[in-house]
Amino acid sequence: MTATTPDALPRRRLLDAPPHWTTVLAVVILVAVIAMAVFASQIAPFEPTKLNPAMRLKPASSTYWLGTDSFGRDLYSRVVYGAQVSLLVGGGVTLASVLIGLPLGLLAGWFRGFDAVLMRMMDGMMAIPGILLAIAVVALTKAGLVTVIVAITLPEIPQVVRLVRSRVIAARSETYVDAAMLLGTPATRLITRHLFPATIAPLIVQGTYIYAAAILTEAALSFLGVGIGTEIPTWGNIMAEGRLYFAINPWLVFWPAIVLSLCILSINLLGDALRDRLDPKMKGRSP
């Protein structure tokens, strides 16, 4: 852009302006959580499942940084390993709900008849409280990583469908879509080349919120005892086991709670920052 063309709009880039300090903090925390998950076996001083009945419910010490739980397992190691399940479930749910919701939303935005039927179905799915639906799925199948991902993905799909659909409907009234239609562009090409790009930015933003929501729901399921199972440490089931000894050592609950909350908070903050940069229209979201 030069002084002779004052009307030219500057291209908005992701890092045009320095990020807000909360965004920087969020990224730092997320990198730490990812490192915890990836390098868990190097970071954790103990096996997270190693029982040691002689060391039950010990307070924090130089050996056991955060103390031990009711089975004598090292709390710090368990919290570190807990990051693995949370991040895996978050990633799986985000990927699955976008892969299913995106094509449905594109079709619903384009084909009126399909839209009417599909949106009633999505209304129906949104009426079922997410945790109840997830609980029902877990109850029917064997508890495991895939089951939990499926269970949490189902209630997230309508959100993606509605978002994509609304963006497609908005884009349809744009001149470039009219132009493409007048040129006789076939529907498949119109959808994939002209309408789909309009949904990318909002999907990235929504994806971060889904990631955060999935981690939260997984933790809630584990906490309720209907999650992945107790043999794998997750932040939710560490809290569920710790709550029985809350009166003796509340930190059995609070340490996983703090890491869990910080992780979700960071993802949400990152989502807000991405939204402000990529998609200012979405300000004031209501997830």
Q: Which residues pair with 68 in a beta bridge?
A: 74
Question: Which residues are within 8 A (CB) of 273 and not within 5 positions of it... i.e. 6 or more apart?
Answer: 19, 20, 22, 23, 26
| Contact residue for another protein among 79, 137, 191, 270 (CB under 8 A) | 137
Would you put residue 67 in left (φ > 0), alpha (ψ -120 to 50) or beta? left
Cα–Cα–Cα angle for 127, 269, 37, nearest 5°?
Answer: 90
Does residue 112 belong to the site contacting another protein (CB under 8 A)?
Answer: no
Among 45, 59, 197, 250, interactor with another protein by CB under 8 A = 250
Nearest-approach distance from CB 223 to another protein, in angstroms: 5
Two tokens at 280? 């200012």
Which span (78-86, 95-103, 195-203, 211-219) binds another protein, by CB under 8 A? 211-219
133 binds another protein (CB under 8 A): yes
Which of residues 19, 204, 254, 278 is near another protein by CB under 8 A? 254
Question: Does position 104 bind another protein by CB under 8 A?
Answer: no
Q: Verify binding: residue 225, another protein, rule CB under 8 A.
A: yes
Q: Does 219 bind another protein (CB under 8 A)?
A: yes
Q: Which of 272, 274, 277, 279 binds another protein (CB under 8 A)?
A: 272
Amino acid identity for residue 208 in this structure? T
Number of CB atoms found within 10 A of residue 270's CB: 22
Q: Say if residues 248 and 266 touch (Cβ distance below 8 Å).
A: no
- Window contacting another protein (CB under 8 A); options: 66-74, 78-86, 98-106, 255-263: 255-263
Q: Which of 89, 264, 270, 274 binds another protein (CB under 8 A)?
A: 264
Q: Which is nearer to another protein, 3 or 247 (CB)?
A: 247
Q: Is the CA virtual torsion 178, 183, 186, 189 positive or negative?
A: negative
Is residue 124 close enough to count as binding another protein by CB under 8 A?
yes
Task: Measure the CA–CA gap between 252 and 270, rounded to whole angstroms.
Answer: 28
In angstroms, the CA 256 to CA 237 distance is 9
As a 3-state breakdown, the chain gives helix, strand, coil percent values, each rounded to 5, of 70, 0, 30
**Number of Cβ within a 10 Å radius of residue 17:** 9
Amino acid at 154: L
- Are 66 and 51 in contact by the 8 Å Cβ rule? The answer is no
| Count of all residues that appear for the chain in the document | 287
Q: Of residues 226-245, which lie at the interface with another protein (CB under 8 A)? A: 226, 239, 243
Answer yes or no whether residue 212 interacts with another protein by CB under 8 A. Answer: yes
Residue from 27, 125, 170, 204 touching another protein (CB under 8 A): that is: 125
- What minimum distance in Å lies between the beta carbon of 228 and another protein? 14
Q: Which is nearer to another protein, 66 or 269 (CB)?
A: 269
- Residue 176 interacts with another protein (CB under 8 A): yes or no: no
Residues that bind another protein in the complex, under the rule CB under 8 A:
120-121, 123-133, 135-141, 212, 216, 219-220, 223-226, 239, 243, 246-247, 250, 253-254, 257, 260-261, 264-265, 268-269, 272, 283-284, 286-287
